[in-house]
Amino acid sequence: MSATPPMIVELFVGTLTRYYSTDWQDGRTRAGFPSPFGNKVTPHAVTDPVELQGAIAEWRDNASLKLEAHLKQPLNWQEGMLPPYFVGELGLAGYGGAILLAAYTNHAHLPRPVMFMQTWAGDPAIEASMKAEKKDALWEVMNCGIWFPDEFAFGIGLKDPSGTPLKAGSIELLWKALEYLNETNWGASADDIATWRTRDLGDGDSFESQAQFGFAVFHESCRLARENRLPMKLHY
């Protein structure tokens, strides 16, 4: 019996036209992942970039209205297929490491896991973060499904271009959250963080290694999104 392949979780940095066209996937991603822009009656996936770009522009205008009270100016970044794109291979373990790191940093009184965490269901720090009455920027922004190249507070619920509900965050606020996580937990250099990103995680690794790997992938992807003024999308 063959082993179950690891769940694919990635951070896509690039235009949403590129993302929903699926013209970025390879053997390491969900090859054949259909575009959600299809008719429910006639399931024809829309992958034409020109058609997608118009749909994305309309969606972005609507998202700007949704976020109007939180924005200094409407959302704006270059769309289409010309801007660069990047894929950070996070994996379920890396994503879990980053989310758990944020939760345990927020709740420093709780003892941290020692060994690799395959699941975080029922984790006390995660549950405490989710039940907290007061919004916390660190948890809110790490727990988003899409991040825009703009600055606004916390994570805000909306629907992505396919109509799927998710939480939207700010690239700038995410960067500040990542800088805070680094300063609070390690004070690591850019070279250290780059080294963490090259690790191959396994069940025998420590939680510290898992958290550092997940953090490093988030850090590099967020850096690229900031430098290129592009959105970042959680893909799984």
Radius of gyration (C-alpha) of the chain in whole angstroms:
18
The Cα 86–Cα 60 span in angstroms is 21
User: Hey, where are the domains in the chain?
Assistant: 10-235
Q: Which of 106, 182, 165 is nearest to 139 (CA)?
A: 106
Q: Quote the strand ranges of the chain, DSSP E.
A: 10-13, 86-89, 146-148, 156-159, 165-170, 232-235
pLDDT above 90 covers a percentage of the chain that reads: 59
pLDDT 10s digits, 165-201: 999 999 999 999 999 999 999 999 999 999 999 988 8
DSSP 121: T
Evaluated on CA atoms 106, 109, 110, 116, the torsion sign reads positive
* Contact (CB, 8 A) for 232 and 13: yes
Q: Which residue has the tokens 């209205």?
A: 65
Residue found by looking up tokens 């490491």 in the block: 97
pTM: 0.89
The terminus-to-terminus CA distance of the chain in angstroms comes to: 25
pLDDT tens for each residue of 125-164? 999 988 887 777 788 888 899 999 998 887 788 888 888 8
